[in-house]
Structure 1
């Protein structure tokens, strides 16, 4: 018999109000995960959770805590797969919250932070996967980047594949369409405003570039340029 693990341990700084909200959310999740707790007890507890909780996690007619279910990858198993520890508020009213676990719920933690710890955003954390036997393919990890608008996930496996692809062929990170201007230099295509600065450029895959109808925007012909490797790698 052998075991696989997904591990993470990190802290983030939140406001005292956010820390209090996180405590109430964790307590509610513990309650809804207990099959022995009936609907009357859930209704009684919901009456104490506060208006901020109710606004973030609106109830349904079936259960007062159904609003919590979208925190979890599987709504049939609403549980926190990690421990949460809270520090004491400092003089500025900030609290360090520490999350850790050996079977860490990566998606649940990311959703929880995005919903309940807005003052900490943007925020990110790393995770590791390992095994208690030295088996090929059982080790790796990744990261999560959380903003108010989105949650992004990356893995070491994908990063490795991209790094290997760069060593084999130019354009592994995509292509941009550029034109050269004698006075202004290079401009790069985006689908909203046409040719503009690089930070707004559309990045094309090799297949997209091959099938794109290149616009005629100046006397100089447009050209495809390979994106350089990301600084992270």
Structure 2
């Protein structure tokens, strides 16, 4: 058996407001993933209390959905599995060395890169269009155990995918033309 890891590390140029919102999103995802452990209430009551404690910018970016009891439903929509809103990434905010705002350094192992792409699209508007890459590695030499991919994030689209998908599509087009 082999262990496979998805790894990434990149900087996103952000404004001060975007940096604060990005940090809040990381904190919010961690709290939701922990089942609102820091809230003395249960279930949707805890979710409601925690949502009310979020900044006005967070609430404007991720408003509640009418008719849905979960106030975080639009935030959870960033993930392909909304019941597991975990980024599995670390975030560090630093001043941009060239003096153009701040840099959000995002990195980690087992990162949910599609959720990160969606988060960047919603939160880091000043950086768009933006792109980042990731690597897929395994601790044993196995066919299909290595690869990677990329995402290009624009205001309206998230483009990209894995190198495996890109390779298959390229092969398919060559075979179709043969």
For the residue of structure 2 that corresponds to 1:71, the secondary structure is coil
**Who is 2:25 aligned against?**
25
The CA deviation string for residues 53-107 of structure 1, in whole angstroms up to 9 with x for no partner, is 1121112452332221101110111111211111147795611101111111111
For the residue of structure 2 that corresponds to 1:79, the secondary structure is coil
Whether 1:46 and 2:51 are equivalent positions in the alignment is: yes
RCO comparison, higher one (Cα < 8 Å, 6+): 2
Contact 1:84 1:99 in 2 (8 A): yes
1:175-186 → structure 2 map (5 Å cutoff): none
**Who is 1:58 aligned against?**
63
- Normalised by the length of structure 1, the TM-score is 0.65
Whether 1:108 and 2:115 are equivalent positions in the alignment is: yes
- Normalised by the length of structure 2, the TM-score is 0.83
State the distance in 1 between where 2:173 and 2:152 align. Answer: 24
Whether 1:127 and 2:117 are equivalent positions in the alignment is: no
Whether 1:140 and 2:147 are equivalent positions in the alignment is: yes
For the residue of structure 2 that corresponds to 1:87, the secondary structure is strand
The CA deviation string for residues 184-222 of structure 1, in whole angstroms up to 9 with x for no partner, is xxxxxxxxxxxxxxxxxxxxxxxxxxxxxxxxxxxxxxx
Contact 1:28 1:65 in 2 (8 A): no
Q: Which has the higher helix share?
A: 2
Deviation at 1:144, TM superposition (A): 0.4
Whether 1:87 and 2:70 are equivalent positions in the alignment is: no
Contact 1:16 1:93 in 2 (8 A): no
**Who is 2:12 aligned against?**
12
Structure 1 gaps, min length 5: 173-233
State the distance in 2 between where 1:158 and 1:4 align. Answer: 17
